[in-house]
Structure 1
Amino acid sequence: MTTERREPATTADERTMLEGWLDYHRQTLAWKCEGLSDEQLRTPSVAPSTLSLMGLVRHMAEVERSWFRRVLANEPDEQAGPIYYGDDDPDGEFRLTEADTWAQAYATWQAEIEAARGHAARFALDDLSAGKHRRTGERFNLRWIYTHMIEEYARHNGHADLLRERIDGATGD
């Protein structure tokens, strides 16, 4: 698989621009993971951290699910509850075992991205979310969610840069 990253058009309308930058950052994370074995993708940065490329992908699946399915669309926990974490292990997405595979993590992440796109398509940028944030009780418009997701991916793609360089020396923007 070769990941193609496409920067958004420089003259796009606001929604197209936001969706384009979000997709660009999704593609960047996939690119950072490309060509590595499951073992390499499970390799943590440095002790005592459990941060790994596969863990980041699993984390972003959780983040996509949380913001688009639970907050934006108000899907109940029976449909969109946590995938990898729970009350007993709030960082479960980062705790990997030999049984965890890239194929599973990638498929889950891509399914959450597709669900996110489907839900977002039903909202205008100024529309408030159907659900509320679990901790704060706030509602968010789609514009805020898109902007937050771009920030979330950008931050974690910086982590992915360092993780990938540590694994095999590969660098790139």
Structure 2
Amino acid sequence: MPGQVGPVSNEQEGLLAYLAQMRYVLRLTAHGLTDEQLRATPSASALSVGGLIKHCASTEENWLATIRREPQTVDYQQYAENFKLADDERIEDVFARYDRVAEQTEKTVTELGDLDYRIEVDHSVPWNRKDLTHWNVRWILLHLIQETARHTGHADIVRESIDGATAYPLMAAAEGWPETPWLKPWARSE
């Protein structure tokens, strides 16, 4: 996937394209990392690249359930665990889950075909606004783009703390871009 979203013909297509781009850039932060590095927490926080990717997959999955009006309960222990890549979890499995969630998000939004489709706000959790009664699909997609972008920034910092790699050199390495005078694709240091 190129570094920029391509042309879009309508709002729904644009929102889904930007969400897909953010997922992709988040995934790139894991490019070339070992299992140990995926779990590393080298910054001031307890965040890891693998944990951030897992969290974003879980968050999108929860918002998808919200759009579908599927019953949910908030499990605060599970919420905390979604920020950690457990010892028995593999990044490939997290990526596969994220791919399934992304496919279902796009399918659900496309089938609904209505960005104004309303969903009641769950007021049982403290982070939801008490002055609103409904979200719409548009708001949820914008929120997912924001959430994924925020955590991609966290993952960028964690990744740079691990081995100095940054977004465009990682993208160049993952996509096989040629080296230029101003951009050298990332390569594992020996």
Task: Decide: shared fold, TM above 0.5.
Answer: yes
Q: Which residue of 2 aligns with 1:127?
A: 117
Matching residue's letter, 2:19: L
Q: Which residue of 2 aligns with 1:94?
A: 83
Give the TM-score, by structure 2 length: 0.74
Q: How many residues align?
A: 161
Quick one: distance in 2 between partners of 1:98 and 1:169?
24
Identity in percent: 32
C-alpha RMSD of matched pairs (Å):
2.2
Q: Which residue of 2 aligns with 1:145?
A: 140
Is the aligned partner of 1:163 residue 2:161? no
Quick one: distance in 1 between partners of 2:79 and 2:19?
25
Quick one: distance in 2 between partners of 1:111 and 1:148?
19
4+ residue runs over 6 A deviation: none
Unaligned runs of 5+ in 2: 169-190
Give the TM-score, by structure 1 length: 0.81
1:110 aligned to 78, 96, 99, which one?
99
Unaligned runs of 5+ in 1: none
Quick one: distance in 2 between partners of 1:21 and 1:41?
25
2:51 aligned to 36, 49, 55, which one?
55
How far is 1:90 from its partner? 3.5
The C-alpha deviation readout for 1:67-91, integer Å capped at 9, x for no partner, is 112x1001234xxx77xxx344541
Matching residue's letter, 1:9: G
Q: Which residue of 1 aligns with 2:68?
A: 73
Contact 2:50 2:91 (C-alpha < 8 Å) held by counterparts: yes
